[in-house]
Structure 1
Amino acid sequence: MRLIFTSLVSHGHLYPLLPLAAAARDAGHEVVFATGDDMLTVVEKAGLAVESAGLGMHEAMASVLGPGVRPNASDGPPESFYPVIGQVFGNVLPRRFVADLTPLLERFRPDLVVYESGNAGGAIAARLAGVPAIGHGFGRFSPGGITDAIHGRLAEFAAEVGFEGVYLPSFGDPVVDICPESVQEPDFVAEANRIPLRPVGWAEPGDLPAGVVGRDKSRPLIYLTLGTAFGDEDVVKRAIGGLARLDGDVILAAGPTVDPAALGELPGNVRVEVWVPQVDLLPHVDLVVHHGGSGTTLGAFGAGLPQLVLPQGADQFTNAEAVVTAGVGRRLTGADVVEDVIFEQARKLLTDETVLGAARKLADEVAAMPSPAEVAQRLPEFAG
């Protein structure tokens, strides 16, 4: 069977598809992964054939906001960015992906398209080409708010190209769902044709920071990250200030948006890395303090870790809500994102047996979900 996988051009949207794409290849299917130029090297490291399609997130944002401008959580309430998000994800990106995928579908003639759920252009291109398709989620589906903003702009574009029945997030297609059912959005669970898949995680090959393996486990290890898109130096500084007061060690993954040199002199128990292989690091960690990105949230679910979430934008606020609702962590926003509160909440999370028990229970639920190899065996069912 011939398969095209396609995702938006970001780590958070791309990484969740790689385990299933690799498993499909290992099962003997011919697999091509279509995404933007910025991510092609990443996909090739997973051993997959690649095709260029789509537009990078920063380029798409710049086409709406202007060069060098990006939404920031400190600039206003999340809803103030909904029109921008709606235009980017409901018009700019789908339009470009349809344009790029249409000739690829004609040339490759796949039996099935697996499109990442944020990539509406993948769904539309497949439907217009008459190719069976399924969605692939990257986390918890978010009702209202951002979804409504995207839907409004997407409906306009879909009507323009003759695509009927716009319905987010699945367009009526089956959806590979990597979010544990207990924390998935209830209406989505009730209405969608879900294909559960364990969120096993994926990271580019690389070594763990020195001292992580074989460390003194009497001291907790806290992993701090604000991801690859919404890093805020001021928030990171406040988080470092609070976490450094704990009797433990802190590893910060600065990512591409936080300059380690701008953080100044750091406490002795804080180490900064530009990048870490997160999926390999999490089993060694005692607490994750993060932005609420889907990859980090689900990774912590699978590792059975408590979470302190400092949401910065996009779906991070609903992910933070899911963490709190599941009883596996806390959320801080606005005026609460200060050193004293971060210290106090982190201290409690490291020792709260109720939270730790809930995190272990959620990890058991993740472990019981079908593996990528098992789901890959089912893919011919959806090729029609």
Structure 2
Amino acid sequence: MIFTSLVSHGHLYPLLPLAVAARDAGHEVVFATGEDMLAVVEKAGLAVEIAGFGMREAFESIAGPDAPKPNASDAPPESFNPVIGEVFGNVLPRRFVADLTPLLERHRPDLVVYESGNAGGAIAAHLAGIPAIGHGFGRFSPGDVMDVIYGRVAEFATEVGLGGLKLPSFGDPVVDICPESVQAPDFLATATRIPLRPVGWAEPGDLPAGVVGRDKSRPLVYLTLGTAFGDEDVLKRAIGALARLDADVIVAAGPTVDPASLGEVPGNVRVESWVPQVELLPHVDLVVHHGGSGTTMGAFGAGLPQLVLPQGADQFTNAEAVVAAGVGAQLIGAEAVEDVIFEQARKLLADEAVRGAARRLADEVAAMPSPAEVAQRLPEFAG
């Protein structure tokens, strides 16, 4: 079997539990992704092949190295849709098809498991005549930008002789890690869905001092803007707000923000470059985050209230889903000022209705099939 994902933590991590479970079930598994992520895959004990390149390189090939990020620009987010559509609907798929085609010819796998954002993985498998299934990385998010991406994917697919592929699933079954109650209705109505519990994945590491065995009468708040959309100003505002709570705060600055740039922080706040999120969440009382799929799914599974500060991509529709499920609140753009963040966080920590909804959602996640159970089903889809 070949698993393949875009070159991003948020797109790759969700596939690792099933890939590892498939290997443990006795299948030969090779994971194909870009060079920047190979070390992560190797730490999971999987064989690797190089395919694709990173999103930053892809964006720079279109917009140049100095182009602003959508969350760091005064331009409306929708003005970036043509560039985003070109990157995810043409540049990345084209590169993955070029790299995966010889790999598929050499390995001749019985099944390709492609991450759903990696259209090139799907197209390469279909061109090679190899059975394939998609693997979601969170909620399937409808919207204008996705329409642009799918339009460009359809054009590329037609160019290579695969016109008429049914998007977004390419006509393939899809491993879905999102609880059904919060999944997009359009996806549920049209997809052949293989439910899989979102168990999360993190590189091994120690929790910050004081987390284990802490005084649980004092809440612990976790703040992160993820690995791709970190924003120094947003983090500073959020730190200032959360420090005013009668709570302890752990901040994961992520790879895009230097912790030193955040300056001196109050005594109840601890800033780390990185934390093992999967291990941290069971100790947390509230997650304040960007709405990335990994953090959203992790908070669902841990039964935690969420305050979402979306910055880009699918984070806005994830935030809407959090609110619709009754498990949190969202603050968008100019709404995310210190006083409002403080007030919303304070309310969420005290809201028993939100906590009850979060616990029910966690129960739904716990009832979903495990990676080991889904791995046992994979031969059903293989050639």
Provide structure 1 residue ranges, at least 5 long, that are not aligned to the other structure. none
2: CA distance between counterparts of 1:362 and 1:146? 28
Q: Which residue of 1 aligns with 2:178?
A: 179
1:40 equivalent in alignment to 2:17: no
| Contact 1:116–1:138 under 8 Å retained in 2 | yes
Q: Which residue of 2 aligns with 1:14?
A: 12
Q: Which residue of 2 aligns with 1:57?
A: 55
The alpha-carbon deviation at position 81 of structure 1 amounts to 1.5
Q: Which moved more, 1:72-81 or 1:230-239?
A: 72-81
| Contact 1:9–1:54 under 8 Å retained in 2 | yes
Any idea what SS the aligned residue of 2:29 has? Answer: strand
CA distances 1:38-73 after superposition (whole Å, capped 9, x unpaired): 000000000100000001011111111111434232
1:369 equivalent in alignment to 2:377: no
Runs of 4+ in 1 over 3 A off after TM superposition: none
Report the AA paired with residue 4 of structure 2: T
Q: Which residue of 1 aligns with 2:111?
A: 112
Normalising by structure 2, we get a TM-score of 0.99
Q: Which moved more, 1:292-301 or 1:260-269?
A: 260-269
Q: Which residue of 2 aligns with 1:199?
A: 198
Any idea what SS the aligned residue of 1:311 has? Answer: coil
Q: Which residue of 1 aligns with 2:265?
A: 266
Q: Which residue of 2 aligns with 1:31?
A: 29
1: CA distance between counterparts of 2:218 and 2:170? 48
| Contact 1:72–1:230 under 8 Å retained in 2 | no
| Contact 1:61–1:70 under 8 Å retained in 2 | no
Q: How does 1:91-240 map to 2 (within 5 A)?
A: 91-240=90-239
2: CA distance between counterparts of 1:138 and 1:371? 15
2: CA distance between counterparts of 1:303 and 1:354? 16
1:341 equivalent in alignment to 2:334: no
The alpha-carbon deviation at position 349 of structure 1 amounts to 0.3
- Alignment root-mean-square deviation, CA: 0.8
The alpha-carbon deviation at position 258 of structure 1 amounts to 0.8
2: CA distance between counterparts of 1:360 and 1:225? 22
Any idea what SS the aligned residue of 1:238 has? Answer: helix
Report the AA paired with residue 318 of structure 2: N
Any idea what SS the aligned residue of 1:5 has? Answer: strand
1:319 equivalent in alignment to 2:318: yes
Q: Which residue of 1 aligns with 2:3?
A: 5
Identity %: 84
1: CA distance between counterparts of 2:43 and 2:295? 21
1:275 equivalent in alignment to 2:274: yes
Q: Which residue of 1 aligns with 2:283?
A: 284
2: CA distance between counterparts of 1:70 and 1:62? 10
2: CA distance between counterparts of 1:74 and 1:39? 25
Report the AA paired with residue 33 of structure 1: F
The alpha-carbon deviation at position 168 of structure 1 amounts to 2.4
1: CA distance between counterparts of 2:42 and 2:360? 35
The alpha-carbon deviation at position 97 of structure 1 amounts to 0.1
1: CA distance between counterparts of 2:14 and 2:226? 15
The alpha-carbon deviation at position 78 of structure 1 amounts to 2.3
CA distances 1:151-194 after superposition (whole Å, capped 9, x unpaired): 11112211111112233221110000000000000111111000
The alpha-carbon deviation at position 264 of structure 1 amounts to 1.1
The alpha-carbon deviation at position 120 of structure 1 amounts to 0.2
2: CA distance between counterparts of 1:201 and 1:68? 34
